[in-house]
Amino acid sequence: MKELNELNFPDDVRYAESHEWARSGGDGVKVGISDYAQDQLGDIVFVELPDVGESFEKGAEFGTVESVKAVSELYMPVSGEIVAINEALDEEPELVNSAPFGDGWMLRIRLADPSEAENLLDAAGYRALVE
């Protein structure tokens, strides 16, 4: 595992205490797991995501990520409808390890309540949580 100062905590995303992130932009919000979370999990070998069109409440389980160490549940950082999934993860789940805030994104959602994103942690708050 990496030292905390080696991990990426981008300022342009908001973080859930369950280690998912949400980045607003375009027609919705992209969702993935944090650099800290992927580092703790180790090598990711499988990602199970929901279908486009499904809706989830904030905090609801939306899928799982399987690493060589364990299977972990994924939780919605905000409420919304799935408008896209990252199909590249079917063939390359390791993108979550190599680029958790880039090509390793998991979902794009249409927010049900935009104010929920404001209640997530900023980078400094999330970093303090994992220290």
> Domains plus CATH for the chain?
13-130 (2.40.50.100)
CB of 49 within 8 A of CB of 56? Answer: no
Q: What is the pLDDT of residue 35?
A: 97
- Full strand arrangement of the beta sheet holding 80-85: 14-15, 20-25, 28-33, 107-111, 80-85, 55-56
Classify residue 119 as left (phi > 0), alpha (psi -120 to 50) or beta: alpha
Write the secondary structure of 57-73 as one string of H (helix), E (strand) and C (coil).
Answer: CCCCEEEEEEECCCEEE
**Which amino acid would we find at residue 87?**
E
Q: Write out pLDDT tens, residues 67-102.
A: 998 999 999 999 999 999 999 999 999 999 999 999
In the predicted structure, residue 118 carries a pLDDT above the cut 90: no
58: which 2 tokens?
A: 């904030």
Residue type, 86: N
Q: What is the pTM of this model?
A: 0.94
Does position 125 have pLDDT exceeding 90, yes or no? yes
What pLDDT is stored for residue 5 in this prediction? 85
Beta strands, E only, 1-131: 14-15, 20-25, 28-33, 44-48, 55-56, 61-67, 71-75, 80-85, 107-111
7-36 pLDDT, tens per residue?
999 999 999 999 999 999 877 899 999 999
Mean pLDDT score, 108-124: 92
Percent of the chain predicted with pLDDT > 90: 87
